[in-house]
Copies of this chain bind each other. A is one copy, B any other.
Amino acid sequence: MNAHGSTPTERMPLPRTVDAQHVASARASMPADSDVTDLADVFGLLGEPSRVRILIALLDGRMCVRDLAATVQLSESAVSHALRLLRAHRVVEVHRSGRIAYYELADAHVRVLLELGLEHVGHTMLLHPAPGASTPPACAPRTP
């Protein structure tokens, strides 16, 4: 609650800052807790190899659970659990056609996020362009 308070009568136990001004401004412009946790949640979803693989697979277009499992080499149950999380955070969305459920990326942010991530890691864009999206043709086929 308090910290660098405003009651000069009581001596502050800890003015423990080096650049109090910077701290104040940084704290002022800090997003609300809910915003921060939401943000962390989204990144957390991308913070695991299995889910990353699933999302990369979905870059090619929509896929059903079984095929996703085969693609990422994981049990269908695990994939279903992962998709449940991704779905809950609007990262993917389902379209059911009879017994099978087709999953696809929910919005373009994820695609950009993945590309940027790879860029940061240093691997220069191994991903395919979006299926009919606005990504400029700047990707080369991988050399296996």
Point out residues on A near B: beta carbons under 8 Å: 3-4, 16-19, 22-23, 25-31, 33, 35-49, 51-53, 56-57, 60-61, 63-64, 66-67, 70-73, 100, 107, 109-110, 112-114, 116-121, 123, 126-128, 142, 144
Contacts and interface: CB of A to CB of B under 8 A. Distances in A.
Contact of A31 (B3, B25, B56): B56
A69 to B, nearest CB: 8
B40 A47 contact: yes
Given A42-B120, A47-B43, A142-B29, A22 B61 contact: yes
Given A18-B100, A19-B63, A116-B116, A71 B35 contact: no
A42 B44 CA distance: 10
A38 to B, nearest CB: 4
In terms of DSSP, what is the predominant structure of the interface of chain A?
helix
Contacts of A40: 46-49, 51-52
A67 to B, nearest CB: 5
A40 B120 CA distance: 12
A36 B22 contact: no
Contacts of A44: 43-44, 46-48
